[in-house]
Structures are given as C-alpha cells and as structure tokens.
Amino acid sequence: MQDQRCATAEEVALLRERVARVEGGHDHLQDGLDTLSRQFSDLRRDLTQAVGDHAARTRHEIMTRVDEINRDAQVRDAEVSERLARIEGGLRLANWVTVTCIALATSLLSWAQMGQAIWDFCTSLIGGAS
C-alpha cells in the first residue's frame, strides 16, 4: 500500500491560490458573457428599431409616390374630360348649325314652291280671264 501523505501548508496555500485564480477566471468569464449578452440584446434591439424605421420610411415614400401618381392621373383625367367636353360641345354646335341650315333650306324651298304655285295660279287666272 501507499503511504498517505498530508499536504503541507505551503501546498494547501498554493492549491487555494490556484482555485482562487480558476474561480476568478470563471467570474471574469461570467462577467464577459453577461456583457456579451447585454451587448447582443442591445444590438438586436437597435437592429429591430432600425429595420422598423427603414420599413416605415419605405412605406411613407411608397405611399407618397402612390399619392403623386394618383394626383397626376386625376389631372390627366380632368384634362381628357375637358377636351372631350369641348369636342362634344363642338359636335353639338356643328349638328345644330347643320340642322338649322337644313331646316332653313327646306323652309326656303317650301316657301319658294308655294310662291311659285301661287304665282302660277295667279297668272293662270289672269291669262285665262283675258
């Protein structure tokens, strides 16, 4: 069997010192991990905020552009409607002038025919009486 040997005070002190260094290193690592965890949480929070802000800006820019496009479309629609109204008014005027000319020509021809018929009747009366 082996002889059991007792550690000297010096060896125990050296062992305690080594254990203390290991525990100190462990505490230091734990502090480092806690710091990294906080930094990661801060980074995640900042990234989430940045992505949210960017998305909000993008939505705002898109909606602004859509509003501009809608306004431009409404302006173009109003211009086209105005042009069509002017064309329609011109066509109505042209139709009215055409119908009026036709009615006047028809009336003049009718009056001319009636005048001719009356003239022929009167001349036949005068010619037949003589």
The answer to whether 21 and 29 are in contact (CB under 8 A) is no
Length of the chain: 130
Environment class of 21 (CB within 10 Å of its CB; exposed 0-12, middle 13-18, buried 19+): exposed
- Identify the pLDDT of residue 129: 62
Written as six digits, the tokens of 70 are 């809608």
Q: What is the pTM of this model?
A: 0.49
Average pLDDT, rounded, for the chain: 90
CA distances in angstroms from 26 to 16, 37, 91, 98, listed in the order given:
15, 16, 95, 105
- Identify the pLDDT of residue 1: 55
